[in-house]
Structures are given as C-alpha cells and as structure tokens.
Structure 1
Amino acid sequence: MGSSLVSFLLLLATVFIVADCGSIGVNYGRIADNLPSATKVVALLKSQGLNRVKVYDTDPAVLHALSGSGIKVTVDLPNEKLFAAAKSSSFANSWVQRNVAAYYPRTQIEAIAVGNEVFVDSHNTTKFLVPAMKNIHQALVKLKLHSEIKVSSPIALSALQNSYPSSAGSFRPELIEPVFKPMLEFLRKTGSFLMVNAYPFFAYESNTDVISLDYALFRENPGVVDPGNGLRYFNLLDAQIDAVFAAMSALKFDDLNLVVTETGWPSKGDENEIGASVQNAAAYNGNLIRRILTGGGTPLRPKADLTVYLFALFNEDKKMGPTSERNYGLFYPSEEKVYDIPFTEEGLKEYRDNRSSVAPVSGGGGSRTGNTWCVANGEAGKEKLQTGLDYACGEGGADCHAIQPGSTCYNPNTIEAHASFAFNSYYQKRGRQMGSCYFGGAAYVITQQPKYGHCDFPTGY
C-alpha cells in the first residue's frame, strides 16, 4: 500500500439528498403470488427504518398504502408505454395526472423512472426513451410538480462500451448521439440525475479467476490501482460507478449526479452461479449499507453522498431465469428476514455493539465500544511482518515511538507484537478505512481490544 492509497469511500450522489451521509432505499418488486398485502409491506418498511422505496409500476393499492407513511417513492412508467408517452403529449399528461398527481403529496413521490434498462429491452424502444422523458417532464411542469418530482431512466452497465479500468469508462458509441447526449442534457436542464443499475455479482460470477470475492463484497483486500488515474479501488461497486462517472465526464457532463437504483446479491443460485449464497448476500448488502450510511463517495467523487436502492424487498417466486433471479430478497414473503442485517444508523450501532460484545477480551470483559483494531497475522511469517512493520513505521507514517527500546510497548519484544502496534497505528490514523489493514496479508481486523503485555492500543489519533 503506497502513499497513493486513496480513502475507501463509497457511492454516489443525488440531488435530493442534503444530509451528510447517504441514503438507503429498497426495490419493491411483485413478480410473485405469495406476497403480503401492500398495507403490510408499508408497515414492514417502517418497522425496518426504510424510508425510500422504488416500485416498477403505479399500482393504486401500493400508492394508496404508501399515502401518509412518510416514505419517499420512485414510480415507474413501464417500457411498454414508452411509445405512447413519446408520441402523444396528451397520453403523458393523462398518465401523470392519473398515476402521480392523483396521489401526491400524501404519497411522497419524488421521482419517475421512465422505463427500466431500456437499451437491453428486446422490444427495441430505445428511440422513444428521451421523447417520453421530455413529455412526462412537461406534464409535471403543467401541474407545477417539476421542482418536487424528477424524471430519469435506469440504465444497465451494459450501456457502457468500456468499464475497465474505471478511468476508461465510455458509453456504447451507437447510443451516444441518439440517446446519451440528449438524455444527459435533459437531466442537466431539469436538475435531475442519472439512474444506474449496478451488480458486482454478475461481474464476479463471470470473472472469478481475476476478481476476488473480498473485492466484490467490500471486505478487507489490497485494492486495485486504476492505471489511468492512479486511484486505488477497494471494492467492485465503486469501480463500476466511477466507470459511469468517467463516461459522463467524457461527454462533458461532470456536473451530473447519480443514483444507484438497483444493486444486490442473491442468497441462492444454480450450481454454475458462483458466489450466490446467504453468507455472501449478507456480506454484500450489510457492508454496502454500512458504507452508505457512514457517508462518503467513490475514489473519483470522494465528497459525494450516495442514494442506493437495494434489490429487492422480497424473494419473487414467479420471476423467470436462473435460480438467483428468485432469490435476491431481503425478506421471505412471510416477512421473515433472509439474513439479519440492519438498515439504519441506529441499527448498525446496535448490531456492531452486540457483535463486539460476543467474544471476551483477552484478560476479561467484553467491549461494547464498536471500535475495531488492526493486528498482525502471526501465520504470515516473520519476513512479511517485518516488511509491513518497516513500511508502517516509515513511509506509512505510523506512530512507532512506543515500541522503541525502553518505551511502554517495547515488551513483549516480538515481531508480532511490534507489528501489531504499528499496523494498528497506521489503521487508526487512516480512520479505519477499508484496505488499510492488509499489509500483503500480514494483518487483519479484530473487534476486541488487543492485549500485548501492558501496552495500550489507541483507537484514534
């Protein structure tokens, strides 16, 4: 890890977020025959602290159930209606009046997704996308709702010609002039944002020989340096999103923001769907939520706060395709969690405290501070530990005074004890950011206070 180590910060910006940290939403898909009523779903969302939801239509039962809930809603104009919305302003006016204005503001509709992944739709409706977006927006203008409700359209990452390295991100050439330039101009003019569906699972599943699971799941890893801009990435989602930012930048739209309208990880899959498991789904979504709610952006846009919509609320038993398609849910139709992860800052703190109190600290007592420490991995071997120790105390800038002869942490005088102190100093000074406790595999993060003799391991500098 050189001096070019970049802060591990996650995800995207959105024009309607004014808080100092990001926001988590969820996609409420309903391709199933066993889901609870919309009223029960709204109660479930509120009980979990989820205050943003995205739906794939404008079902009256759902929009009525959300009325007065305080939950912000993104609705969808389905792909099959793009032609009519593009060709007829009266259709667009009627659709907005009937499906949006009729519920607003009791139902807090904040955005309209015009279509979904239109470029990969087999019905070839791409040419109708931007005209439909403009007509829908104009209908909002007539109703004086255009300042409160934004119009956009979710794109899949397949809309990119290049996505690796991130700095070389570019849109497919055949889409630039007819679609992306006018669409991005529309988003800029209306103060909206680009919607992006991004799934590290698909990239990992197809490239397990070159993409590590830790990198895909936001776990500790050495990171990947982008040769184009020198930035270091510690997770695949950051890299995917920055590829989209780079593609927008190539067209001179650096000022536009971005919302991740879909991302998730399946808890079950077919034999050939490598990585689909409950444990990996919990790790992906749990680590993603933690990073979003603690604020920060991507290496390319480090000051951006992100809004991310998890896919999906429920396992949907009627979806076609491989087994994974029916197993992206955070909940079973019974409303039982598929795996236990928190969705709010308060939930994260409680979850972290509970986990950190499970194992006893060496010497007694359980830590409920929620802090983490970085210590040496004794199995890495003395050579690796010494290399890491030399770097941490030298170029890394760790505070190593306490492990000098005669100082408070010199004893025990072992390479593992000294390396642990130095590694932890380096880790804490970098705000415990992802990737700062690695040292070539010679270190790992723990949730219990380390104990080496009488040495005190700081948690902040």
Structure 2
Amino acid sequence: MSMSTLTRLTLCFFFSFFLFSSPFTAEAGGSIGVNYGRVANDLPSAVKVVQLLKSQGLDRVKLYDTDPAVLRALSGSGIKVVVALPNELLSAVARRPSQAYTWVQKNIAAYHPATQIHAIAVGNEVFVDTHNTTTFLVPAMTNIHAALVRLNLDDAIKVSSPIALSCLQSSYPSSAGAFKSILVEPVIKPMLQFLRQTGSFLMANVYPFFAYEANADVIPLDYALFRPNAGVVDAGNGLRYFSLFDAQLDAVYAAMSALKYDDVKLVVTETGWPSKGDENEKGASATNAAAYNGNLVRRVLTGSGTPLRPQAEVDVYLFALFNENKKPGPSSERNYGLFYPNEEKVYDIPLTAEGVKKRGVAPEEKGSPGGGGGVSTSGAGRTWCVANGKAGEQRLQEALDYACGEGGADCRQIQPGATCYDPNTLQAHASFAFNSYYQKKARAIGTCDFGGAAHVVTQLPKFGKCAFPTAG
C-alpha cells in the first residue's frame, strides 16, 4: 500500500463523516417499487392502497392498465407510476398512429403530471402471448412514443416492454446468455435500438423461484434466496455468483452485449417469491418468500451491481402488493403478495433504505408469516469475508475506505507497525477490513459484498501472521 493510500485510509477512518459519498451506503443503491395487480375481488379501494404505499415508504408502483380510479387516487401522492398498455391493444395501436395518440391523450396526458407517470409498459411478456402479438410490439412502442412527442411528454415518460426470461435461447452459464435466434432480427434488435434512441430501458421479469422449483435437485436453496453459499463460478468469464438473481440478470446483460447494446439500462419490472404453493411447488413458503424479498431489498438498496456489471444500479419492482384470489393457475399464483387484502403483512421485511438501516442486522428467521423479517444472519458454520481480487484496485480501495470509515470496521491492526500491516498489499488490508465489518454485522447476508469487491469464504483466511476475527 502506498503512502498516499495509507494517508487516505487514515483520514477516512477518523473523518469519514466529512469525506464520504459512498456507493455502498443504502441511499446510493437502486430503487424498490411494487406491482399493484388487481386480479381479485376483495382488495381495498385505490385510495386506501395509496395510503398503504405511502405508509410503507414505497414511492414507485407499477400497474397493469390505466384504470381511472387508480390513476386519480395516485394524483398528488408523489409516487412514480408505470402504467401498461394491454397486449390486446397492441394490434390496433401498431396499425394506426391515431389510435396510439388517442390512447395517450385519454390515459396519460389526462392524468400527468399530477399523477407522476414516468413509464409506459407496452404489452407484457409479449413473446409468450398465445395470441401471437410479437410482430406488433415495436410498431406499437414507436407509435406510443410518437404520440408522447406530439404532446411534449417524451422527456418525462419513457416507453418499454417487459420481457420474460423465456425469450433467452441460453441463460446458463450467464456468460452464454443469448436471445432466441428467431426473435433477434424481427423484434429484439429493433426494440433495443428503439430503447437506445429514446433513452429508455429494457424491462425484464426475473423469477429465480421458477428456476429453483424446476431444478431444486441441483440449485441450492441458499443460492436462490441470497443466503451465504459457496457460489457458482461461470466457466465462461471466471466470475463467481452468489445469487441466482444476479446470474439471471447477467444472462440478460450478456445477451444484450452480444448484440452490442451494452449501453441500454435494465430494470427488473417483476420479481418475487410465493408465500404458499401446492405440494409439488418446491420452495413456496412464507419463510422463503420473506428471505428472498427481504434479502433482495437489502441487496438493491445497498447499491451493489452484478458480477458482470458491478457499477450498475438495479431498479426492482417486487411482485406483488397483494395476494390476488382470482388469479388462475397453481396456488403460488395467488400468494405472491406482500400484504393480505386486509392490509396486514404476509411477512415483515424492510422496504426502504431507512428501514434497512433501522433494522441493521436482521433477526433470525422464525419460519412463520409476519415473524422476524425472514432473513438468516448466521450463515452456515463459520464464514469470513475477503477481498475479490478481480474487482480492480479502484473498487477495492473505495470499498476499503468505506469499511474503515463510515462502515465502522476496526482497522487499527492494518496501520503501519500494527500486527496485520504485513503483507502490505491492498488485497490483504481490504480483506481484513471487510471481514471486520462482516463479523461486526454478525455475518448478515449482504454485509460481505461491497459492490462486488468482496465475497464469503468458509476457510480461515491467511495473510502473513494476521489473525482474522470471527463472530463466534
């Protein structure tokens, strides 16, 4: 470690509150929103729903239509809204620009800006729509955007369309991510080009639950739920993944990269885990739903990207706000809600950066609805946190500064002349600092990440004569 590095470390350690604007604080992460589905006959009024959203600190909501009662209820709330143009309207809007203009006038301009509509989802998972509406997608998006331009709303409101991961021809390993060849030229490339030209983003619905349920014999549950695990190394790029969610996101990033659209942002418009399911739906439980969603919220709000895109903030919309009793299909489909229709929580997790901070280390899972936050903190046996040498010196240094500064790690042992100063390398010093922070946080999930600069190990680290602390 150079003298300038040591000086920077010492200053940050003692005066971090003057110096810090860290990418590892809760405020610097992505955002959390929620899907407000209404396939039910027992939900509270839209006015009550807006009150519920505000009481939970949720300032982003995604709808599946443009219901006037809902849009009016959201007026003046300060909540950012994604609305949807249903699949059944794609054909008409694609064929007739006048139809698109009328739809935007009636459903968007009539409510904005009092209702803060900031994006329109044109269709939903169109590529798997049984009515074969794929060919209408990009023309519909283009006509909706043209209508926004005419009404001078195109800067404020972006146009996109949520894709399902079934549009990938390959998703494992993540580095092999590729879109289905049959979709690439007709729709994927034109859509990505449209998103690039309009400054919009790709919407993706990402469900680790489906992958786990179908492959529970080979996918570890901890890997699916963001719990401590040994990780999975991608043979294609050498990156180690500690969550199925990140692996799925990076498969989409890789597919976009293969078509040279690395600059298009990705937003997760749906993800979640059911709190109940049929006997054959492995993993569907309140405990697992709380673990997945609780850990996901922490992961998003602490600002870490994916192994392939470590600097990318990930905006996520949880599915869903309520259990919806009229949804068809297996029991899980009716049990994705964070809340029951009576507005009671199905399980208790933080949904905001303030909530994550306030709770600090989450309590142990209690395995029952509404009990304890549903996030495991103890890990499996003894674990330690060490630096990820592939993260690069700049990211390691930033993470080290944070750990020894605002993070509150005990870094006295890596100062000159102290026990753990040697070996005097950035990786050794960062590993000691990261582990100090991790152990102080009782090895809570998400506290050994530092934006991809660290990872959990199950073998006691050895750097010279330095003894790494444990939490017992």
TM-score category of the 2 structures, normalised to the smaller one: 0.7 to 0.9
Matching residue of 1:75: 83
Q: In 2 relative to 1, CA 401–285 (structure 1 residues): closer, same or farther, beyond 3 Å?
A: closer
Deviation at 1:207, TM superposition (A): 0.6
Matching residue of 1:7: none
Which of residues 435, 441, 444 in structure 2 aligns to 1:427? 435
Aligned partners of 2:28 and 2:301 also within 8 Å: no
| 1:44 is aligned to 2:52 | yes
Deviation at 1:375, TM superposition (A): 10
Matching residue of 1:223: 231
Deviation at 1:374, TM superposition (A): 8.6
CA distance in 2, matches of 1:181, 1:237: 24
User: What per-residue deviation string (whole Å, max 9, x for no partner) do you get for residues 319-376 of structure 1?
Assistant: 00000000000000000000001111111122236849xxxxxxxxxxxxxxx89996
Matching residue of 2:458: 439
Output the amino acid matched with 2:171.
S
Matching residue of 1:25: 33
| 1:161 is aligned to 2:180 | no
| 1:202 is aligned to 2:217 | no
Deviation at 1:439, TM superposition (A): 1.1
CA distance in 2, matches of 1:206, 1:354: 29
CA distance in 1, matches of 2:163, 2:323: 23
CA distance in 2, matches of 1:183, 1:401: 53
Length-normalised TM-score, structure 1:
0.78
SS of residue in 2 equivalent to 1:73:
strand
Q: In 2 relative to 1, CA 247–45 (structure 1 residues): closer, same or farther, beyond 3 Å?
A: same
Aligned partners of 1:220 and 1:438 also within 8 Å: no
Matching residue of 1:415: none
Aligned partners of 2:435 and 2:469 also within 8 Å: no
Aligned partners of 2:170 and 2:177 also within 8 Å: yes
State the aligned residue count: 385
SS of residue in 2 equivalent to 1:105:
coil
Aligned partners of 2:432 and 2:468 also within 8 Å: no
Output the amino acid matched with 2:214.
S
Aligned partners of 1:111 and 1:150 also within 8 Å: yes
CA distance in 2, matches of 1:288, 1:305: 13
CA distance in 1, matches of 2:99, 2:67: 18
Matching residue of 2:343: 335
Output the amino acid matched with 1:271.
E
Counterparts of residues 360-379 of structure 1 (less than 5 Å): 377=382
SS of residue in 2 equivalent to 1:201:
helix
Identity %: 68
User: What per-residue deviation string (whole Å, max 9, x for no partner) do you get for residues 35-87 of structure 1?
Assistant: 00000000000000000000000000000000000000000000000000000
CA distance in 1, matches of 2:379, 2:346: 31
Q: In 2 relative to 1, CA 374–38 (structure 1 residues): closer, same or farther, beyond 3 Å?
A: closer
Matching residue of 1:117: 125
CA distance in 1, matches of 2:360, 2:52: 22
Matching residue of 2:114: 106
CA distance in 2, matches of 1:457, 1:209: 35
User: What per-residue deviation string (whole Å, max 9, x for no partner) do you get for residues 141-178 of structure 1?
Assistant: 00010011000000000000000000000000000000
CA distance in 1, matches of 2:447, 2:60: 29
Length-normalised TM-score, structure 2:
0.76
Output the amino acid matched with 2:458.
F
RMSD over aligned CA atoms reads: 3.1
Deviation at 1:457, TM superposition (A): 5.0
CA distance in 2, matches of 1:428, 1:22: 26
Matching residue of 1:3: none
Aligned partners of 1:375 and 1:424 also within 8 Å: no
SS of residue in 2 equivalent to 1:436:
strand
Matching residue of 2:391: none
Output the amino acid matched with 2:132.
N
Gaps of 5+ in 1: 1-18, 357-371, 378-384, 410-422, 444-454
Aligned partners of 2:35 and 2:270 also within 8 Å: yes
Aligned partners of 2:305 and 2:314 also within 8 Å: yes
| 1:131 is aligned to 2:139 | yes
Aligned partners of 1:313 and 1:329 also within 8 Å: yes
Deviation at 1:458, TM superposition (A): 9.0
Which of residues 93, 97, 101 in structure 2 aligns to 1:93? 101
CA distance in 2, matches of 1:37, 1:280: 29
User: What per-residue deviation string (whole Å, max 9, x for no partner) do you get for residues 106-140 of structure 1?
Assistant: 00000000000000010000000000000000000
CA distance in 1, matches of 2:237, 2:138: 32
SS of residue in 2 equivalent to 1:203:
helix
CA distance in 2, matches of 1:269, 1:424: 43
Matching residue of 2:5: none
CA distance in 1, matches of 2:217, 2:379: 28
Aligned partners of 1:268 and 1:327 also within 8 Å: yes
SS of residue in 2 equivalent to 1:94:
helix
Matching residue of 1:152: 160
SS of residue in 2 equivalent to 1:29:
coil
Which of residues 270, 276, 281 in structure 2 aligns to 1:262? 270
CA distance in 1, matches of 2:159, 2:190: 14
Aligned partners of 1:427 and 1:437 also within 8 Å: no
CA distance in 2, matches of 1:175, 1:55: 26
Aligned partners of 1:22 and 1:293 also within 8 Å: yes
| 1:303 is aligned to 2:311 | yes
